[in-house]
């Protein structure tokens, strides 16, 4: 009989949300669902639908497995090359399946919500998806969540999902961010003895488990970190190009800009003491162009020109220059960073290094009709371990999550 564990059933856990429930009901009209009911009753009606027959049960369980990969998520992306021997083994579907069979459980149900878990991570499933050349590993274990204020403790299942992309050697691991997490103790919870943990620690643990299975080879952290920061810069560049309207004005003022640059070069020319080189003259012109674009952008009345026809736009960024000085910038929650003076004040530094520590984007949804807002916020940054971290702080569909992630992977 199909049941849904409290971790996923309870509304305050934010795993199976109303958005996901109503989407399932729209996609399965044969269930004749009443979508106006409260969340718990809607979920109960889906459970009843699943218990009608084996086919419906599999449909519901597959849906839950998919829903656990979306929503509010922390995602860590790391470069994970494997040995030539493993690459050769993974060139055929039969080779991959035979290898994974050695790690697959013969007794567990391959649906994450149909098993009972303990203190250690259990590999629930290892699925090779041929059309996207990825292996998806689903792990789960029990953790304690302790509310210090109310002095209450509960047990939760904590699923962590890893995708390994064979063609590009990237390992992607996702989990729901949680606070007040503690290692599960089957003998009961004691705050004085309990060992705390974090979402990042859980992700790193699963990364290690997957790494042992596919035999990941270590790469220099500094090289990978620089590569990822360059990818984030490229993303920033792609979504902060000068709008056509402003570019047109600057093209019309091109001769005036050149005149100003020439005047500055003349003003700085001091016989026997100072002479501006040709390379420096080019630098002066770029500085003047940046100033003109800056004041056009921050004073342009129609701010929509920085948003329209763009899949995403930056609202906040941080970058580190060659002298290790930090630059922190922020815009309003959905206000384009390009409308802020600080963006242009530090643009030259960013473009010189072609690296960016992190960016917060507003990203357009693929199916906005299912949501109250047509975009979502995502923070992308490189941590000290050389991993690219994606933080989705609001409910985000799986296809939108992967749209963001692949913008980095495929750069």
Residue pLDDT, tens place only, 126-153: 999 999 999 999 999 999 999 888 888 9
pLDDT band at 391 (very low <50, low <70, confident <90, very high): very high
φ/ψ of 27, rounded to 5, equals -80, -10
Q: Is residue 176 part of a domain?
A: yes
Give the end of a domain, one of 265, 299, 333.
Answer: 299
Same structural domain for residues 57 and 77?
no
Q: Which of 112-126, 178-192, 230-244, 307-321 has the lowest mean pLDDT?
A: 307-321
Q: Return the axis-axis angle of helices 278-299 and 254-267, rounded to nearest 10°.
A: 130
- pTM here is 0.90
Same structural domain for residues 206 and 173?
yes
Q: Is residue 367 part of a domain?
A: yes
Contact residues for 117 (Cβ-Cβ < 8 A; gap 6+):
140, 141, 142, 157
Range of the domain at 188: 73-219
Cα separation, 405 vs 389, whole angstroms: 10
Same structural domain for residues 197 and 59?
no
User: Is a pLDDT exceeding 60 seen at residue 402?
Assistant: yes
The residues that bridge with 376 in the sheet, in sequence order, are: 363
Same structural domain for residues 11 and 33?
yes
Same structural domain for residues 224 and 370?
yes
Count: domains in the chain:
4
The arithmetic mean of pLDDT across residues 22-49, rounded, is 93
What is the per-residue pLDDT for 98?
A: 96
Same structural domain for residues 339 and 381?
yes
Cα separation, 52 vs 29, whole angstroms: 15
Same structural domain for residues 142 and 80?
yes
User: Is a pLDDT exceeding 50 seen at residue 321?
Assistant: no
Q: Is residue 226 part of a domain?
A: yes
Give the end of a domain, one of 278, 299, 320.
Answer: 299
Q: Is residue 189 part of a domain?
A: yes
What is the per-residue pLDDT for 306?
A: 95
Token output for 322: 């060659």
The residues that bridge with 144 in the sheet, in sequence order, are: 155, 182
Alpha-carbon distances, residue 102 vs 106, 116, 125, 173 (angstroms): 10, 21, 12, 22
Same structural domain for residues 93 and 188?
yes
Tell me which of 138 and 190 has the higher pLDDT.
138
Q: Is residue 163 part of a domain?
A: yes
Token output for 99: 């290898």
Tens-place pLDDT, residues 324-359: 444 455 444 578 999 999 899 888 889 999 999 999
What is the per-residue pLDDT for 11?
A: 82
Matching residue, tokens 């878990």: 117
Handedness of CA 232, 174, 147, 376 (dihedral sign): positive
Token output for 401: 């999550």
Q: Is residue 350 part of a domain?
A: yes
Same structural domain for residues 253 and 370?
no
User: Is a pLDDT exceeding 70 seen at residue 100?
Assistant: yes
The residues that bridge with 73 in the sheet, in sequence order, are: 392
User: Is a pLDDT exceeding 60 seen at residue 322?
Assistant: no
* Mean of all residue pLDDT scores within the chain: 92
Same structural domain for residues 38 and 54?
yes
What is the per-residue pLDDT for 323?
A: 41
Q: Which of 48-52, 114-118, 189-193, 277-281 has the lowest mean pLDDT?
A: 277-281
Q: Is residue 143 part of a domain?
A: yes
Same structural domain for residues 38 and 125?
no
Q: Is residue 1 part of a domain?
A: no
The arithmetic mean of pLDDT across residues 248-258, rounded, is 95
What is the per-residue pLDDT for 280?
A: 87
Tens-place pLDDT, residues 42-57: 999 999 999 999 999 9
Same structural domain for residues 93 and 35?
no
Give the end of a domain, one of 272, 299, 326.
Answer: 299
The arithmetic mean of pLDDT across residues 366-371, rounded, is 86
What is the per-residue pLDDT for 275?
A: 86
What is the per-residue pLDDT for 333?
A: 56
What is the per-residue pLDDT for 324?
A: 41
Tens-place pLDDT, residues 59-95: 999 999 999 999 999 999 999 999 999 999 999 999 9
Tell me which of 364 and 278 has the higher pLDDT.
364
């Amino acid at each position: 009989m199909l049941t849904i564990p409290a971790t996923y059933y309870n509304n305050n856990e934010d795993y199976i949300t109303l958005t996901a429930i109503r989407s399932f009901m729209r996609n399965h009209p044969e269930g004749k669902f009443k979508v106006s009911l409260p969340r718990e009753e809607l979920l109960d009606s889906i459970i009843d639908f699943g218990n009608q027959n084996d086919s419906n049960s599999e449909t519901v369980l597959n849906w839950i497995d998919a829903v656990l990969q979306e929503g509010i998520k922390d995602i860590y992306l790391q470069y994970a090359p494997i040995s030539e021997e493993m690459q050769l083994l993974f060139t055929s579907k039969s080779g991959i399946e035979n290898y994974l069979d050695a790690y697959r459980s013969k007794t567990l149900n391959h649906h994450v919500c149909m098993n009972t878990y303990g203190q250690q991570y259990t590999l629930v499933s290892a699925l090779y998806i041929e059309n996207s050349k990825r292996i998806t590993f689903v792990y789960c274990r029990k953790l304690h969540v302790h509310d210090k204020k109310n002095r209450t403790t509960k047990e939760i299942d904590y699923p962590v999902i890893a995708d390994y992309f064979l063609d590009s050697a990237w390992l992607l691991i996702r989990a729901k961010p949680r606070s007040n997490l503690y290692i599960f103790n089957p003998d009961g919870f004691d705050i004085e003895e309990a060992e705390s943990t974090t979402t990042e620690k859980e992700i790193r643990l699963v990364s290690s488990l997957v790494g042992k299975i596919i035999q990941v080879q270590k790469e220099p952290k500094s090289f990978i970190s620089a590569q990822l920061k360059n990818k984030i810069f490229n993303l920033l560049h792609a979504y902060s190009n000068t709008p056509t309207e402003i570019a047109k004005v600057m093209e019309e003022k091109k001769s005036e800009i050149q005149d100003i640059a020439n005047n500055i070069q003349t003003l700085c020319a001091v016989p026997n003491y100072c002479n501006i080189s040709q390379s420096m003259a080019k630098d002066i012109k770029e500085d003047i162009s940046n100033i003109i674009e800056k004041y056009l952008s921050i004073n342009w009345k129609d701010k929509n020109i920085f948003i329209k026809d763009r899949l995403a736009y930056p609202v906040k960024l941080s970058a580190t220059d060659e002298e290790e000085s930090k630059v922190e910038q922020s815009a309003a929650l959905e206000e384009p960073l390009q409308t802020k003076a600080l963006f242009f004040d530090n643009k030259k530094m960013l473009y010189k290094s072609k690296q960016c520590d992190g960016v917060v984007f507003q990203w357009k949804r693929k199916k906005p009709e299912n949501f109250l807002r047509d975009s979502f916020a995502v923070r992308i940054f490189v941590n000290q371990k050389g991993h690219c971290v994606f933080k989705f702080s609001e409910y985000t569909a799986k296809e939108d999550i992967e749209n963001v992630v692949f913008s980095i992977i495929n750069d």
